[in-house]
Structure 1
Amino acid sequence: MNQDRSPEARKQSEDDQELLFQQRRESEYSDYSHVEISGGGEDSGNVLSTSTALNQCEKKVLNPYLGLLKILGWRPVVQNVTIFRRTFNQIYLLFIFSLLIASYVLKIFVCDSSIATGPTISTPHVNRTGLPTRVPAHSIVPAATRTWHCRHLFTTYLIPESIHGLAYVYLFYHFRIKETEQLSSLVQTVFLQSCNIQSTRKSQRKLITILRMFLVLGCVWVGMTVLSICLQVANQYVNKSERGNVNYNDWQITVVVCGHFIVNLVYMAIALNYCTQCQLLIHYVQYILLCIQERSLELKRVMQDVFKLKRFVSRLNGQMATATSLCLFSQANWFLFGFVNFLKRFYNDRTSSSAISWTHAALFPLLWLFALAPVLIQASRLTTICSKLRFSGLTVRLFGYQNCSPIDLDSFSSFLLTAKMEAKLFAFPISRKVVIGLISGAGIIFLLLVQLDPSVQLSIRI
C-alpha cells in the first residue's frame, strides 16, 4: 500500500511522524521537569521541617531547661540591663545559696532519722557498782535527761552534702561566670546535621519525644523526693512520743522542704544535662553510621563529622562528667544507707514502725536508684555505639566505598580505629560491661546483707 501512495503523500506521512515524535519528546521532557521541581520542593520541605523541629525542640526542651538553670541561679533570672535587675539577680542568687546552706545545716542539726540508724540515747545511770552505764535505746527516759548523738554524722551528712555543694559551685562557675554551657550548640548541630537523613521528620520527632521524656521523668522524680521528705517529717510527728527525736518547728519545716527541693533540683539538672547530651550524641552517631551504610557522603566529609563528634564527646567528658561524677558519688551514698536502713527495719522493727515510716523507708532507696540508673545507662549506650562506629571502617575497607582507592580506604579505617570515643565518669570509661558488673556486685551484696544475722548488722558502724 505504501508503494501505491504518491511521493507527496509519503513525505507528508513522514512529516507527521516526525512531528508526533517531537511532541512525545516534549511531553517526556515536561514530565521529567515536573519530577525535578517536585524533588526541589521535597528538599525545601526537609529544610523547613528541620527548622520547625529545631524550634519545637527549643520550645519543649531547651526553654524549660534554661528556666531550670535560672531557678538554680546558674543563669540570670532577668537580663543584666539595669542596676535594679542586676541587684535582683544577686539577691536571688544569695537566697538560693542560703537556702542550700540552711538545708545542709538543718540535716546535720536534726540528725535526719530517715537515713541514719537512729540517734542513741545516753543518760547518766548508776548501776549497783556505782559506775555510770548507758540506758538502752528502748528505755523510757525523761526528755530533760536525754542526749542525742548521730551515729553516722560524717559519712552520712558531711561528705555527701559537701560534695553536693561542690558540684553546685563548680557548675555555677562554668554556667554563670564562664558561660560555657554547651547543650544549646549541640542541639543545633545535631538537628542541622540530621537534615540529610531521608527519614528526617521521623527521626527528629522521635528525638524530641525522647528529650521531652527525660524532662518529664526528671520533674516526676523531684516531686517524689519532695513527697519523701514530707513523709519523713510526718513520721517524726507520729513517733514523737515514742522515739523522742528532735522535731522540726514550722519555719524549719518550710526551710527543709524548700531546701530539699532545690538540692534535688540540682541533681535533676545535672542528670538531665548529661542524659540529654548523651542522647544527642547517640543520634549524631546514628546519622554517621547511616551515611556510611548508604554511601551518601564522601569519606572526607565523614571524617570531618567524626572529628566533630570526638570533640563533642571530649567536652562531655569534661565539666559535665566531673559534676555528674560528684553527684553520682553522693547519690550512691544515699542509696546505700537507705537500703541498709530498710534491711534493718525489716529485721528489727517490723511491728513498731508506722505505715508512714515503712513507706518512707522503702521509697527512699528506690528514688536514689532511679537517679543513678539513667546516667549509667546513657553513658554505656554512648560508649557502645561509638565503639560500633570505630569498627565500621573495617566494613568499608572490605566492601569498598564509592570510587575510593585502597589507600583512601586504609586511611579512613585507620582514622576510625584511632578515634577512640568513650563516655567517662570518675575518669573511667562506662560501658555495658561495667554496668552489668555493678549490678552483679550489688546483687551479691544484697544477698549477703539478707543472709547476715541481725546482731551482726547492728554491730556494723560505717
Structure 2
Amino acid sequence: MAAVPDARKYETPLSKSFSPSFANSVDILNSSEIAEITAMPEEGVAAALKHCKLRVVVPYFRLLAAVGLRPLTLTNSCPCWLVTSLSFLHLGLVLILLVLGYGLQFLSCFRRDLGPLGQINGNDVQQWEEKCPLTQLVSNFVVPSILHLITYLYVLYLFRIKDIEQLPNLMERVFVVSCPPGGVVQPKKVTRSLWLLLAMASVWLVMSVVTFSLALILNPPNFRWIYMDPIFIRALLATGTMVQDAVQSTLVSGYCLQAHLLTLLAAALKQRVLKHTLSLLDWMREVRELLELLRHLNDRLAPAVCVLALISASWALSGLITIVRKPESTRVYLAVLLIILWATLAIAPFIMATRLSRHCDALREVGHEIRARPFEYMDASSEDLNSLLLFASTLRLKPSLFGTPVSGRSMCILLSLVALTALVAGQIA
C-alpha cells in the first residue's frame, strides 16, 4: 500500500479560496482515504476541484436557484439582509406562480395531455360540464396539481435544509476519483457529459414551452368565474405553466445527474481496482461509500422522481388513448408532441437507473475478474483475493424506483407494457 501523504500539504491557496458552501466537500482532501485513492500530485487534485466548482457546481446551483430550490447566494456564510430577503421573495414568487398556474389551468380546463380543447364559454355551465366533467377535473387537474406541489415542497426541503451539501460532495468526489495523474482530461470529459444532460433538459423545456404556447395561440382559452382582461390572464397561465415545467424538468434532470455521477464513480472504482492503482482495503471502503450514496439516491430523491414520472406517464397515456379514440377532440400534431415530451420525461429516470444498475453489477464481478486474471495482483495473498471475491459478490448495489430495483430486464418489461397499452388503445378504437 502506498504511503499516506501528509494531509496538510493539500491545504493549497486554491483550497483556502473556496467559498464556505464547499468547505465540507473540499475537506475530503484532508482525509487519508482520498489521499490514498488519488495518489497524484496536489496540483492535479486542486485542478480537478477547481474545474468541478467553476464548470459544474456553481452553474448547476444557479439553475436550482432559478426555480427556488437553492438560495440566491451560493455561500453558507451569512449574507446581507438584502440578499436574504430577495432569496425569500424569489421563493415566494415561484410558489405563487406554481399555485396560480394550477388554478388557471383548472378554471380554463387547459389540459396538459391534449393541448387545446374546443373553446369554452366560461359563463355557459352546461358547455363547461360537457367539455370538462367532474371526473376529468379531479384526475387531470386536482390530483396532479397536489402531487406536483407536494413533490416540489419535499425537494425544496431536501435541497435547502436536509441535504444541502450532498450534491456538491458527490460531484467533487467523482471528479477527484476519476482524475488521472498529470492532467484534467478526464474531468473535462465528465463535465461535457454532465452538461449534455442539462442541455437535454433545456431542450425538453423549450419544446414544452413552444407546445403550450402554440396551444394558447391557436385556441385561446376562456376562464370560468374570472372577468378580468383575458390577455393578461392568459399571460399568467403561460407563466405559471412554464414555471411548472421548469420545476419538473429540473427535478428529473437532477435525479438523472446524480445517477450519472454514481455511474461514473462506479466505473472509475472498477478501473482503479483492476489496474491496481487502489489498494483492496481502500477499494472496499470506497464501495461502501458508494453504497451510502446510492442509498441516499434511492431513499431521498427517488420518491420525488417517481411521483413526477407517474404524472408524466399518466398524461402521456391519457393523451395517446384520447387521440386514438377521439382524434377530432384536439389538434393531433400538438397532442402527439405532448405525448412524446411526457413519455420522455417519464422514462428518462428509468434509463439512467438502468445504466447505473449495469455498472453496479459490473462491480460485483470485479472479484471474479481479478481471480481469473490476477496479473496485477501477483504479489497479493490468496486470503486478500478471496476476501475481495467474497465482498464483491455479496454487494447489494441496485438503484430502485417505486421501491423496486431497476435493471435491464425491468426496463424491457416496462417498455413492453407501454407498447401493449398503445396497441390495446388502437384496437379498442
User: Where on the TM-score scale, by shorter chain, does this alignment land: which range?
Assistant: 0.7 to 0.9
Quick one: which of 413, 417, 420 aligns to 2:396? 420
Quick one: which of 250, 260, 263 aligns to 2:241? 260
SS at match of 2:219: helix
Q: Say whether residues 1:225 and 2:208 are aligned partners.
A: yes
2:243 maps to amino acid: I
2:84 alignment partner in structure 1: 86
Quick one: which of 374, 378, 397 aligns to 2:352? 378
1:373 Cα shift? 2.9
Q: Say whether residues 1:451 and 2:414 are aligned partners.
A: no
2:19 alignment partner in structure 1: none
1:205 Cα shift? 2.3
The 1-side partners of 2:229 and 2:346 are apart by: 30
1:59 alignment partner in structure 2: 54
Judged with a 3 Å threshold, the aligned counterparts in structure 2 of structure 1 residues 447 and 394 are, in CA distance, closer, same or farther, namely: same
Quick one: which of 114, 136, 148 aligns to 1:164? 148
Say if 2:144 and 2:311, in contact at 8 Å, map to a contact too. yes
The 2-side partners of 1:71 and 1:142 are apart by: 34
Quick one: which of 310, 333, 338 aligns to 1:359? 333
The 1-side partners of 2:287 and 2:142 are apart by: 43
Q: Say whether residues 1:155 and 2:134 are aligned partners.
A: no
1:323 maps to amino acid: A
Q: What is the 5 A alignment of 1:78-227?
A: 78=73, 81-113=79-111, 115=113, 146-149=126-129, 150-151=132-133, 152-195=136-179, 197=180, 201-227=184-210
1:69 maps to amino acid: L
Q: What is the 5 A alignment of 1:265-276?
A: 265-276=246-257
User: Which ranges in structure 2 are unaligned for 5 or more consecutive residues?
Assistant: 1-37
1:369 maps to amino acid: A
Higher Cα Rg, which structure = 1
The 1-side partners of 2:112 and 2:163 are apart by: 38
Quick one: which of 70, 74, 84 aligns to 1:75? 70
Higher mean displacement: 90-99 or 382-391: 90-99
1:127 alignment partner in structure 2: none
Say if 1:341 and 1:361, in contact at 8 Å, map to a contact too. no
1:396 alignment partner in structure 2: 370
Higher mean displacement: 415-424 or 51-60: 51-60
Identity of aligned residues (%): 25
1:337 maps to amino acid: S
1:86 maps to amino acid: T
Judged with a 3 Å threshold, the aligned counterparts in structure 2 of structure 1 residues 185 and 118 are, in CA distance, closer, same or farther, namely: closer
The 2-side partners of 1:160 and 1:449 are apart by: 23
Say if 1:376 and 1:430, in contact at 8 Å, map to a contact too. yes
Count residues with an aligned counterpart. 379
1:53 Cα shift? 4.4
Quick one: which of 286, 290, 302 aligns to 1:305? 286
1:57 Cα shift? 3.5
Return the TM-score normalized by structure 1: 0.75
Cα-Cα RMSD: 3.0
2:306 maps to amino acid: S
1:334 Cα shift? 1.5
Q: What is the 5 A alignment of 1:332-343?
A: 332-343=313-324
1:434 maps to amino acid: S
Judged with a 3 Å threshold, the aligned counterparts in structure 2 of structure 1 residues 46 and 216 are, in CA distance, closer, same or farther, namely: farther
Say if 2:263 and 2:359, in contact at 8 Å, map to a contact too. yes
1:434 Cα shift? 0.9
1:55 maps to amino acid: K
1:445 Cα shift? 1.6
Say if 2:113 and 2:315, in contact at 8 Å, map to a contact too. yes
Return the TM-score normalized by structure 2: 0.80
Say if 1:114 and 1:232, in contact at 8 Å, map to a contact too. no
Say if 1:335 and 1:365, in contact at 8 Å, map to a contact too. yes
Higher mean displacement: 50-59 or 404-413: 50-59
Larger RCO, structures 1/2 (Cα 8 Å, 6+ apart): 2
Higher mean displacement: 70-79 or 43-52: 43-52
The 2-side partners of 1:315 and 1:373 are apart by: 21
1:57-108, Cα deviation, whole Å (9 max, x unpaired): 4333322221122122222224753333333222222211111111111111
The 2-side partners of 1:153 and 1:247 are apart by: 23
Quick one: which of 301, 320, 343 aligns to 1:320? 301
